[in-house]
């Protein structure tokens, strides 16, 4: 009898405990912070305006803290932000960086410490840390704008949300409006890494809805994920949008609006040049000790695939560098093209792959030796005299029938760090490489491998030498990243592309860059400018506005540029809700972004004199004057159009005092190391602060 009572009593106690635990769990669940993220974006004529909104609800009677990381694409400008706390809306302003320097230093003096923020791929990041007051709602909006770049035959826009963030819901609404019909619109399945089917536009994300509207080149994309009864929603991975449009005629696409024009010209084999230029592909590979382990293995896997992608009309070379540089050549065989330069055939590729597989990581990082050796090979193959000062010395003037001066020299330079051997002063190294490349004019494509790579330095080197740079992330898909990059530059289609516009139609001084040394298949160049006040394109159909010319493999391409009726677009009625201030037309924004970026690039390109220049002080003074002019004009445009650049800051102001300052990178920092800072203030009975990673360009 006692045992029965005991069992009944124990059962009742257990039930009460379980009930209490369940009630506590339910209460804890109901009192936890609720975070929701929504993304609204509009892409019009390749120009994307995206607003990311984060809503934080605190149902508890106590304040609670949470962190949200906002990712901004690397090529985007932040243009606006708002913070709504306890009913107070704090709006942003863009000011000159020097103007807000005092507030910046004041915030540093508060003693708050900074820590690293992990950024998404090809993106910058800043962290919003909110201590939400009891029973409060906090809403943070950030808007960024970017001109989408065409690569490998498509435009691509990526939206990234912190994968660790638990949300009540995640919502994306995008709209694309182009003047031409789409050839495809694609949102691939969510993945944090690249996959081998990266170029397959037929693989669609079944969770994403794409609605094509009646008018040409117009569609809406939507995605919504809500938490179920089991828990929260986490970011499924980067949301990637890819699309392309029809390309009729050979003059490209030209658009006019509100006194501005934009001219898009894409590179397509079937229109301009049925054959691509033969190339001398030189792979300059870091084999220093810092490449030991998975980095070297991934490089070896990638190179085995890249070598297979070379065309039969190409030639190639391989240079490795540690403490010194060494070019690969086949043992026991003197190559007919000159030592270190090989035709693309099965045997040569197989032997090169064998050499790559036997690479070992050892020694320091002598970047100067690797690049000089590569440029020496390029000059030797093309019979171009080497510049005095190159250690390998002799000028090659004896013609060889195998040498091809018309070959395009593409130098793919990969390093995971900064120089530790040879010339280690970055400014001297930049001048040295540019000097040696004066005659060869090789396009140097700099790949910054891993988190220790000095991307700012490598980007500057590429800009000074007719190329561009990319980050390569150390991950399971490193090999695919390298292959994907090589696909961009594997088909040089046109070179010396030049645009000319009529003085009576276009304001010449307003034009963005209009000369391009090389154009790859699947890419696109963009020229923008202002129309003259007395130019009325509506009065005539097919009004002549200019021309462009380029060199193909066989013929020189030349076409007039006219203004068809459909080129005259109207102001957009669909807007992403961002700001209460003057709105600028989409073409004017494209012009402003291109101009600012090119002015900032010119700052990085300036050499402050050449090693062969006798009057270095005069050259340095002229370069400094040009640099100051570039900065001043870029600053004026950034302030006018409200863009966060290396020269401006976005400051959020309340009635009391500045709350948040968002800066871009410090141009005066030659190493391009990111600065970070906390800004904090009270928010009701809670507080918030932003930990910011300086945006890099």
Residue 298's pLDDT band (cuts 50, 70, 90): confident
pLDDT tens-place string over residues 138-178 = 888 889 999 999 998 999 998 887 767 778 888 999 999 99
C-alpha atoms less than 13 angstroms from C-alpha of 405 in its C-beta half-sphere:
8
Whole-angstrom Cα distance, residue 236 to residue 190? 6
Q: Which of 655, 659, 661, 656 is nearest to 687 (CA)?
A: 659
- Kindly indicate the confidence band of residue 627, based on its pLDDT and cuts at 50, 70 and 90: low
What pLDDT, on a 0 to 100 scale, did the predictor assign at position 689? 39
Q: Which of 633, 662, 637, 695 is nearest to 100 (CA)?
A: 662
CA-based nearest residue to 319, from 403, 226, 231, 442: 442
How far is it, in rounded angstroms, from Cα 148 to Cα 471?
18
pLDDT reported for residue 74? 83
Per the model's pLDDT, the better-predicted residue between 165 and 45 turns out to be 45
Residue-wise pLDDT tens digits, 652-671: 655 544 455 565 543 333 32
- Per-residue model confidence as pLDDT tens digits over 195-250: 555 556 667 778 899 999 988 889 999 999 888 766 777 777 788 999 999 987 77
Q: Is the pTM value of this prediction over 0.75?
A: yes
Instruction: Check residue 295 and give its pLDDT.
Output: 83
Is the alpha carbon torsion for 22, 26, 27, 33 positive or negative?
Answer: positive
Residues 6+ apart with CB under 8 A from 22: none
Closest CA to 526 of 336, 249, 303, 265: 265
Helices (H), 440-540: 455-464, 478-489
Please tell me the CATH code under which domain 30-246+642-693 is placed.
2.60.40
pLDDT-derived band of residue 413, with 50, 70 and 90 as boundaries?
very high
In sequence order, the 6+-apart residues with CB closer than 8 A to the CB of 28 are: none
Residue 651 has pLDDT above 80, yes or no: no
Under 8 Å CB-to-CB from 96, ≥6 apart: which residues?
635, 639, 647, 648, 649
Residue keyed to tokens 């043992």: 331
- Are the C-beta atoms of 374 and 411 separated by less than 8 Å? yes
Find all residues with CB under 8 Å of 226, minimum gap 6, and list them: 168, 169, 233
* Predicted pLDDT at 382: 85
Q: How far is CA 264 from CA 31, 602, 622, in A?
A: 53, 22, 33
CATH class, domain 279-490, is alpha beta
pLDDT at 610: 44
Nearest Cα residue to 158 out of 143, 148, 167:
148
Q: Where are the domains of the chain?
A: 30-246+642-693, 253-268+494-569+577-640, 279-490
pLDDT given for residue 197 in this prediction: 56
Question: What average pLDDT does range 469-477 have in this prediction?
Answer: 80
Percent of the chain whose predicted confidence (pLDDT) is above 70? 69
Which of residues 194 and 464 earns the better pLDDT score?
464
Nearest 10 degrees: Cα torsion 539, 542, 547, 550 = 160
> pLDDT digit string (tens) for 86-133?
777 878 888 887 776 655 455 444 433 222 233 445 557 666 666 677
Q: Span 24-42, mean pLDDT? A: 73
Nearest partner of 562 among 579, 538, 543, judged by Cα: 543
CB–CB of 487/153 below 8 Å? no
Q: How confident is the model at residue 587 (pLDDT cuts 50, 70, 90)?
A: very high
Mean pLDDT (the chain, rounded)? 76
pLDDT given at position 280: 93
Residue 623 near residue 401 (C-beta atoms within 8 A): no
The whole-angstrom distance between residue 438's C-alpha and the CA centroid of its chain comes to: 27
């Amino acid at each position: 009898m006692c045992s029965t009572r005991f069992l009944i009593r124990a059962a009742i106690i257990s039930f009460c405990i379980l009930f209490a635990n369940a009630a506590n769990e339910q209460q804890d669940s109901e009192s936890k912070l609720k975070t929701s993220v929504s993304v609204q974006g509009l892409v019009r004529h390749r120009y994307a305006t995206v607003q990311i909104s984060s809503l934080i609800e605190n149902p508890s009677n106590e304040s609670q803290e949470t962190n949200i990381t906002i990712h901004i694409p690397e090529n985007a400008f932040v243009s606006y932000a708002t913070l709504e706390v306890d009913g107070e809306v704090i709006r942003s302003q863009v000011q000159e960086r020097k103007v807000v320097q005092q507030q910046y230093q004041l915030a540093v003096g508060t003693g708050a410490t900074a820590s690293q923020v992990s950024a998404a791929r090809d993106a910058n990041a800043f962290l919003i840390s909110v201590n939400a007051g009891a029973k409060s709602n906090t809403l943070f909006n950030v808007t960024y704008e970017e001109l989408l770049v065409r690569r490998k035959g498509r435009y691509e826009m990526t939206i990234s949300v912190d994968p660790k963030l638990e949300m009540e819901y995640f919502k994306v609404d995008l709209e694309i409006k182009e003047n031409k019909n789409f050839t495809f619109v694609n949102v691939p399945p969510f993945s944090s890494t690249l996959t081998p089917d990266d170029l397959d536009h037929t693989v669609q994300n079944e969770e994403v809805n794409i609605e094509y509207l009646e008018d040409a080149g117009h569609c809406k994309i939507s995605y919504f994920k809500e938490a179920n009864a089991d828990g929260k929603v986490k970011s499924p991975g980067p949301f990637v949008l890819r699309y392309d449009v029809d390309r009729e005629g050979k003059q490209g696409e030209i658009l006019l609006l509100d006194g501005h024009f934009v001219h898009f010209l894409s590179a397509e084999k079937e229109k301009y040049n049925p054959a691509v230029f033969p190339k001398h592909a030189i792979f300059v590979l870091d084999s220093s000790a810092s490449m030991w382990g998975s980095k070297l293995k991934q490089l070896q896997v990638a190179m085995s695939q890249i070598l297979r992608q070379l065309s039969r009309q190409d030639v190639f070379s391989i240079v490795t560098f540690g403490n010194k540089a060494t070019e690969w050549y086949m043992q026991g065989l003197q190559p007919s093209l000159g030592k270190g330069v090989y035709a693309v055939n099965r045997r040569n590729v197989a032997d090169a792959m064998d050499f790559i597989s036997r690479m070992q990581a050892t020694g320091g990082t002598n970047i100067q030796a690797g690049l000089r050796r590569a440029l020496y090979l390029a000059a030797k193959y093309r019979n171009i005299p080497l510049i005095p000062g190159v250690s390998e010395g002799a000028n090659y003037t004896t013609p060889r029938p195998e040498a091809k001066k018309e070959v395009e020299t593409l130098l793919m330079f990969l390093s995971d760090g900064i120089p530790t051997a040879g010339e280690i002063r970055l400014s001297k190294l930049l001048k040295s490489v540019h000097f040696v490349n004066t005659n060869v004019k090789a396009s140097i494509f700099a790949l910054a491998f891993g988190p220790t790579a000095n991307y700012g330095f490598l980007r500057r080197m590429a800009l000074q030498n007719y190329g561009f740079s990319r980050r390569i992330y150390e991950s399971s898909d490193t090999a695919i990243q390298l292959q994907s990059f090589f696909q961009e530059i594997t088909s040089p289609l046109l070179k010396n592309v030049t645009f000319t516009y009529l003085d009576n139609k276009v304001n010449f001084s307003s034009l963005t860059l209009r000369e391009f040394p090389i154009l790859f298949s699947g890419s696109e160049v963009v020229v923008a400018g202002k129309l003259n006040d007395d130019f009325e394109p509506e009065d005539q159909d097919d009004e002549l506005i200019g021309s462009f010319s380029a060199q193909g493999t066989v013929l020189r391409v030349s076409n007039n540029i006219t203004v068809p009726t459909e080129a005259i677009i109207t102001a957009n009625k669909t807007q992403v809700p961002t700001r209460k201030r003057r709105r600028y037309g989409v073409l004017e924004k494209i012009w402003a972004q291109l101009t600012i970026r090119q002015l900032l690039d010119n700052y990085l390109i300036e050499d402050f004199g050449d090693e062969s220049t006798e009057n270095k002080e005069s050259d340095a003074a002229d370069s400094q004057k040009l640099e100051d002019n570039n900065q001043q004009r870029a600053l004026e445009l950034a302030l006018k159009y409200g863009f966060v650049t290396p020269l401006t800051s976005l400051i959020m102001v309340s009635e009391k005092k500045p709350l948040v300052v968002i800066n871009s990178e410090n141009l005066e920092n030659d190493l391009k190391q990111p600065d970070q800072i906390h800004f904090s203030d009270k928010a009701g009975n809670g507080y918030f602060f932003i930990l910011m990673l300086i945006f890099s360009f």
